[in-house]
Structure 1
Amino acid sequence: MPELKHAHRLRNGRYSESGQIYLLTAVVLNRAPLFHDFKCGRLVVDAFRTAEREGFATSLAWVVMPDHFHWLIELQNTQLPTLMARTKSRIAVTLNRAIGRQGPVWQHGYHDRGIRKEEDLQAVARYIVRNPIRAGLVSKAGDYPLWDAIWL
């Protein structure tokens, strides 16, 4: 597993800036399809909305896939590690309680990509919401229930 040998280095350059836009991705442990069930997927959406109510992030677009999520946000009044730790924890606690399971839900860490000002945010949002199409879950985005974008 040489690709994991230096995984800790990926976090060294992580930088959080309020007002910056980020594309965040978190993956379920062992890629288990825990969010295949709509009600379980809605727990992820509820966690995104809680982060917004708390003033930590403004959601621009998101999709909840069976085994991961993509979340395009504008960061507000917190740091990325805090936002993701709280969000992933909230989801794990509510999911475990809802389906009567125990144990970890998420793979360690998360992926983030800062979006440069010159990038087309709508194109990034389209990429996010088309994820279920690329995965073969639906033939058009409107057929998938667990996504949203402020432009659509």
Structure 2
Amino acid sequence: MAREWREEYKGGIYHVIARGNNKEYIFKEGIDKGYFIKQLKEYNDTMGYRVYGYVLMDNHYHIIIQTFDKKLQEIMHQINNKYSKYFNGKYNRVGHVFQGRYKAILVQDERYMLKLLRYVHQNPVRAGLCRLVEEYKWSSDIYYRENIKGFINTLIIYNMLDKDTIGAIHKYKEFMAEPEEMNYSTLKAIGDEAYVVLCMSRKEEKQRRRLDELLFDTGISLIEYEQIKSGSRKRKLTEYKLRYAIAAKEEHYTLKEIGEHIGMTAISIKNMLDRYET
């Protein structure tokens, strides 16, 4: 059976949902939720993604995340795997903590971010755990409500509401108090309907593979990947660069696109390929 098609690209914003295996709890105590948030913060520093919002329920979580150089599947594997080891160790259990693969819904249009954030923050209210959004401790609401400087990137939401921060906070509070009618967990993509239709029509088409995928397919380690991405000229990396360039050329990327992705000029890529062909 073919793997479900998923739109993914550098700078992509996703609504990520992960649920407990067999609907079991993935967070049994507040300290569990605190540990998960700690990992979300720490991996944010090392993997370079942005988090715009989250809520941790007892048997599932929602995160609004933007990826850059790291693939979403790599980020989520690190976060979920680390937490699973913690959870199984703490509760002396074995087996899967999460139910299969996480669900990732592409946010195509940033204008929908505000309503999506409201949907995420209102999860505990809909579940009957509290009456108001601000009463629930385990969400990113407080970062917006109190303008807390931390790992939650609040600027994009504030700018949608008001150019003035104080005005944006006031409008945020009013917006969160209004009910969100859309269920953002059931969509294939969030944004323009035409784009969603386009995505569905492309399921059966062969997609050009992303440059990062081609780079990882050369067999490099994460350390070597970071070295290449930072423009390192270490001799041991040349073979990986060549494999990457050959594969990218076969995928019909331009020499400029191939080079910019690993800190090289188009001329340097051409010279490297020319030496290989001779």
The TM-score, its normalising length taken from structure 2, stands at: 0.48
Q: Give 5+ residue unaligned stretches, structure 2.
A: 146-278
CA contact (8 A) 2:47 2:75 kept: no
Find 2:88's aligned residue among 96, 114, 128.
Answer: 96
Task: Write the mapping of 1:3-152 to structure 2, written as runs, cut at 5 A.
Answer: 11-149=3-141, 151-152=144-145
CA contact (8 A) 1:23 1:114 kept: yes
Q: 1:62 is paired with a residue of what secondary structure?
A: strand
Q: Give 5+ residue unaligned stretches, structure 1.
A: 1-7
The one-letter code sitting in structure 2 at the alignment partner of 1:51 is: Y
Question: 2:144 & 2:65 partners in 1: Cα distance?
Answer: 13
CA displacement 1:14-50 (0-9 Å, x = unmatched): 1321211110001110111231411111122122112
Identity %: 22
Question: 1:138 & 1:15 partners in 2: Cα distance?
Answer: 35
Report the RMSD for the aligned CA atoms in angstroms: 1.8
Kindly tell me the number of residue pairs found equivalent between the two proteins: 144
The structure that is helix-richer by fraction is 2
Runs of 4+ in 1 over 3 A off after TM superposition: 149-152
TM superposition shift of 1:127: 0.8
Question: 1:36 & 1:130 partners in 2: Cα distance?
Answer: 20
Larger Rg: 2
The one-letter code sitting in structure 2 at the alignment partner of 1:105 is: V
After superposition, the Cα gap between the structure-2 partners of 1:43 and 1:118, relative to the gap in structure 1 and judged at 3 Å, is: closer
The TM-score, its normalising length taken from structure 1, stands at: 0.85
After superposition, the Cα gap between the structure-2 partners of 1:30 and 1:56, relative to the gap in structure 1 and judged at 3 Å, is: farther
Which residue number corresponds to residue 4 of structure 1? none
